[in-house]
Every structure is written in C-alpha cells, then in structure tokens.
Amino acid sequence: CRPQDLAGLKVVVSAGPTREYLDPVRFISNPSSGKMGFAVAAEARARGAAVTLVRGPVALPDPAGTEVIRIETALELRDAVLAASESADLVVMTAAVADYRAAAPAGEKQAKVAGDVTVHLTPNPDILAELGRRKGRRILVGFAMETHAGVERAAAKAQRKNADFILLNYPTQSGTAFGGDENEVTLVRVDGSFAAWPRMAKREVARRLLDEALRLHRVVQEN
Ligand code: C5P
C-alpha cells in the first residue's frame, strides 16, 4: 500500500509513439513501447492522483483507474495533451513524438512507382515547449535520448522548453529505454544539476520521477 501523497493532484502523462501518415495505410513512426509512460501513469494513480494518460498505439492494457485518451498522430497528441493539461498540476511527456509529418498526406493509397520517390516532411509542433510557454504553476517533465554530451544537451533542452527536469537516457545501453522493462536514466534539472540513477525497473524510475516532481510542486506552492 503506497502513501497517498499525490491525492488531490491531477497528472497528465503522454506515452508511446506517434504515427505520421503518408497515406491511409502507410506511416512514419518509432519503436517506443509506451512502458515508461504507462509506469508513470500507474504509479501516480497508486499514489492517489487523478491521472489522464494520452497514449499512442502500443500493445499495453490501459492502467486501471485512469482516464485514457487514444491518439495516433502528433497533432492529435498535441490537442489532447494541451486540453488535459489546463487543469493539471504535473505533466510528464514520455511520448516519443515524431519530429516530422507528411506536409500533404495523400487521401488515397499511393500506388507503387518505378524508381525513387520523395516525401515532403514538415516539422511537428514541440508539445513540451508549448506547455512550457503556458506553464503557470505546473511542473513539467520531459524525457530525452542523446548519444553524446547528454547532460549538457538535456539541461539546454529543459531551458529551451521551460521544463523543470528531463530524464535522460542513452539508446546504446542494451535492454533499456525502447521496449525494455528497465531503464537507466540521469535526472537533469533545468539549473544543470543532475543525478545518475542506477539501472532499475521502469516502475521504480516512475516512483523517483514522481518524488522529484512532488518536491518541486510543493516548492512552487509555497512561493
Ligand atoms: O527535442 P526532443 O525530441 O529530444 O525532446 C524530447 C522531449 O520533448 C520528450 O519529453 C518529448 O515527449 C517532448 N517532445 C514534444 N513534442 C515534440 C518532440 C518532443 O513534446 N514534437
């Protein structure tokens, strides 16, 4: 039985990949399993929060007791997260948002042609940065995957997006990040301070993430 230390708080979590359709049957996506975000949603719920989980297409059952919104595209994710976040105390962006979408997705299945084809991609909106621009007293948490200079890049990212902290992971560590049940992350705060956590279950990462977010929430409330 967990302490109900998040009772009275509203938590919004995004999880999984987005799909960016080129035509009705083809899309660009990534291998995000959604496990990290689902763990955050379940842990927040177990600690008494009212949880909204905005989930991309992943093969996981909806966590009990949470409001679940299913999305496919980054634009759908954006609409759902921005609407749900208006009344939220804490927003955790674990979703692996595709950076680009087709500039003009075809309305019908495109026939195969001989030779190369060119697809015109346009950038997706940065949802975490949009949340940062309307932050209020909300605590904002992001994730980032970097291959090098991770702490510096994550701190710069937190500043640019106006997030309180970012959990950094590296795609090169086997069995962690995409798809695994464990994760090895470094907590990087917007002030550049950081703490490298040992490899642990994603649920334990979720527990520590929420501890840090709750600590910051209380600081904001006191000021
Ligand atoms: O810039 P980068 O993709 O590395 O940032 C990762 C963080 O920003 C994650 O928390 C991710 O959910 C969020 N993000 C977003 N909208 C995007 C791209 C990333 O909210 N278009």
Segment 8-17 shows an average pLDDT of: 98
Please write the tens of the pLDDT for every residue from 203-216. Answer: 999 999 999 999 99
What is the number of the ligand 1 atom nearest to the C-alpha of 96? 12
Q: Judge whether residue 49 has pLDDT over 80.
A: yes
Give the residue whose CA is nearest to atom 21 of ligand 1: 126
Is residue 134 classed exposed, middle or buried when 0-12, 13-18 and 19+ CB atoms within 10 A define those classes?
exposed
Start-to-end Cα distance in the chain: 31
Segment 38-59 shows an average pLDDT of: 98
Segment 177-187 shows an average pLDDT of: 87
Predicted pLDDT at 137:
96
Q: pTM of the full predicted structure?
A: 0.96
| 212 alpha carbon – ligand 1 mean position (Å) | 20
Please write the tens of the pLDDT for every residue from 133-167. Answer: 999 999 999 999 988 889 999 999 999 999 999 99
Question: CATH says 10-109+119-222 is which class?
Answer: alpha beta
Which of 127, 130, 183 has the most ligand 1 atoms within 8 A of CB, as the residue to mutate?
Answer: 127
Q: Judge whether residue 176 has pLDDT over 70.
A: no
* CB-ligand 1 contact for 73 (6 Å cutoff): no
What is the number of the ligand 1 atom nearest to the C-alpha of 128? 20
Residues 6 or more apart in contact with residue 58 via CB below 8 angstroms: 15, 16, 17, 32, 33, 34, 38
Segment 110-128 shows an average pLDDT of: 96
Distance between CA 97 and CA 34 in Å, rounded?
12
Q: Is the dihedral of CA 126, 130, 131, 135 positive or negative?
A: positive
**What stretch of H or E contains 40?**
helix 35-46
Task: Give the angle 158-76-133 at the CA atoms, nearest 5°.
Answer: 30
| 6 alpha carbon – ligand 1 mean position (Å) | 25
Predicted pLDDT at 90:
98
Does residue 30 have an active-site annotation?
yes
Predicted pLDDT at 148:
87
Domain boundaries, the chain: 10-109+119-222
Q: What is the predicted ipTM?
A: 0.98
Which of 55, 90, 92, 128 has the most ligand 1 atoms within 8 A of CB, as the residue to mutate?
Answer: 128
* CB-ligand 1 contact for 142 (6 Å cutoff): yes
Q: Judge whether residue 73 has pLDDT over 90.
A: yes
